[in-house]
């Protein structure tokens, strides 16, 4: 009877056999990670985040961030979980629970040396950077962007300009232009000062004809790079597109007054005067800019365009004529007028042709205009010369 009583006692649920939950050992989780026992490390640290005596310890969450970050950056572990996101959230929790003392957290390497909080964050962050850089070099831009974004998330509490710069380039090459602009704007906000990264957001916004964004970005960066030629042009042209002429004129007036020998500002004043139909003033501005900087392609090209305006008007007059004998005579007079106008304009374009064009598109536009004027004056030799240059640039008839 005694034996039966004991057996009955043992099978009564919820009594004597109920055991106390074992306390997870966070140090064993780190040891398991160092020994390559990844699942053990992960399950042990996860248990610690729900155990009442370890879940409020900032070190628990720091260890979890280290383990998840290490698992996400090693090539010998794969998971469908958002390991970087969990690591980032764990770091945030660790900092919140540390009462401002998270920098004192550390782990030990295999040799028993202390690796402090900042060192750990940098090591794992750099692992994301290396993976992203490798993908970028292989032209896997989307894969690169993914790694850089993980690094940004992991280092959210200690942002690194390098990640934002590289993420911006990867996003641009992935044709995610808005992301590229956002990352590179953040790069500037964090104190990044590489010229290409600083200027890209304004230039991309301008290309996308988002003139408000282009203007805001250009003016922001011009405080850092006050003499940047392209950004000054973006600022002025954005103001023109937004029809904020008074503001554009005021900005240029201040710039020219501050530096009367600034060819760029004088040239931009010519661009504004062209927009305002003050063509004689614009012509004078372009000529003044060229006196200061004789190899200024844009000023030379725009000066040539001053003469092309009258040629275009004459062409329109020719095309508007009917086929009567009186109109035929008038047409001959206008054709001769256009020949003389073309002969006057060609030297200005030919001079620009000898200068270094800022882009292939600008060179092609120049050559097309030259070709048209050579056609007007029946200069077959030069027309053929220009045609060869256009073909070399990939432009077919």
**How high is the pLDDT of residue 397?**
66
pLDDT at 240 over 90: yes
Could you tell me whether strands 106-108 and 114-116 are parallel, antiparallel, or unpaired per DSSP bridges?
antiparallel
Of the pLDDT bands very low, low, confident and very high (cuts 50, 70, 90), residue 65 is: very high
**How high is the pLDDT of residue 21?**
58
Q: State both tokens at 249.
A: 């004129």
pLDDT at 290 over 50: yes
What pLDDT digit, counting tens, does each position of 326-375 carry? 888 899 999 999 999 999 999 999 999 999 999 999 999 999 999 999 99
Q: What are phi and psi of 226, to 5 degrees?
A: -60, -20
Of the pLDDT bands very low, low, confident and very high (cuts 50, 70, 90), residue 396 is: confident
Q: State both tokens at 252.
A: 């240029």
**How high is the pLDDT of residue 204?**
97
Residue written as tokens 């966070």? 26
pLDDT at 9 over 60: no
Of the pLDDT bands very low, low, confident and very high (cuts 50, 70, 90), residue 44 is: very high
Please work out, in degrees rounded to the nearest 5, the angle formed at the alpha carbon of residue 93 by the alpha carbons of 91 and 99: 105
Element (H, E) at 275: helix 263-275
pLDDT at 142 over 50: yes
What pLDDT digit, counting tens, does each position of 158-176 carry? 899 999 999 999 999 999 9
What pLDDT digit, counting tens, does each position of 193-233 carry? 999 999 999 999 999 999 999 999 999 999 999 999 999 99
Q: Report the share of the chain in percent with pLDDT over 70.
A: 94
* Maximum separation of any 2 CA atoms in the chain, in Å: 137
- According to DSSP, the residues that pair with 116 across neighbouring strands are 106
Of the pLDDT bands very low, low, confident and very high (cuts 50, 70, 90), residue 71 is: very high
pLDDT at 192 over 70: yes
Mean pLDDT over each residue of the chain, to the nearest integer: 92
pTM for the structure as a whole:
0.79
Q: Report the share of the chain in percent with pLDDT over 90.
A: 88
């Amino acid at each position: 009877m005694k034996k039966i009583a004991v057996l009955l006692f043992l099978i009564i649920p919820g009594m004597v056999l109920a055991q106390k939950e074992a306390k997870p050992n966070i140090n064993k989780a780190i040891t398991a990670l160092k020994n390559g026992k990844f699942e053990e490390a992960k399950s042990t640290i996860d248990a610690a985040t729900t155990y009442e005596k370890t879940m409020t310890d900032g070190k628990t969450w720091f260890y979890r961030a280290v383990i998840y970050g290490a698992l996400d950056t090693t090539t010998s572990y794969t998971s469908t979980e958002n390991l970087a996101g969990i690591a980032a959230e764990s770091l945030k929790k660790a900092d919140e629970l540390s009462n401002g003392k998270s920098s004192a957290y550390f782990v030990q390497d295999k040799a028993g040396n202390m690796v402090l909080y900042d060192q750990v964050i940098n090591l794992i962050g750099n692992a994301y950077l290396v993976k992203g850089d490798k993908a970028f070099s292989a032209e896997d831009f989307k894969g690169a962007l993914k790694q850089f974004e993980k690094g940004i998330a992991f280092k959210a509490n200690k942002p690194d300009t390098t990640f934002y710069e590289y993420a911006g380039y990867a996003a641009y090459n992935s044709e995610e232009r808005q992301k590229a602009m956002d990352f590179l704007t953040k790069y500037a906000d964090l104190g990044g000062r590489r010229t290409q990264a600083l200027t890209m957001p304004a230039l991309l916004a301008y290309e996308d004809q988002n003139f408000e964004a282009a203007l805001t970005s250009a003016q922001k960066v011009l405080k850092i790079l006050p003499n940047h030629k392209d950004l000054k042009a973006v600022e002025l042209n954005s103001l023109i597109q937004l029809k904020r002429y008074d503001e554009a004129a005021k900005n240029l007036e201040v710039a020219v007054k501050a530096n009367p020998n600034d060819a760029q500002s004088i040239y931009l004043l010519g661009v504004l005067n062209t927009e305002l139909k003050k063509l004689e003033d614009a012509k004078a501005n372009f000529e003044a800019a060229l006196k200061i900087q004789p190899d200024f392609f844009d000023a030379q090209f725009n000066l040539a365009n001053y003469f092309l305006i009258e040629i275009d008007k004459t062409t329109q007059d020719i095309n508007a004529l009917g086929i009567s004998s009186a109109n035929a005579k008038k047409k001959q007079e206008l054709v001769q007028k256009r020949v003389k106008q073309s002969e006057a304009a060609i030297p200005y374009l030919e001079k620009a042709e000898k200068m270094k064009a800022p882009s292939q598109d600008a060179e092609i536009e120049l050559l097309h205009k030259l070709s048209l004027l050579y056609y007007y004056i029946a200069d077959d030799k030069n027309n053929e010369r220009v045609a060869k240059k256009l073909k070399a640039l990939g432009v077919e008839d």
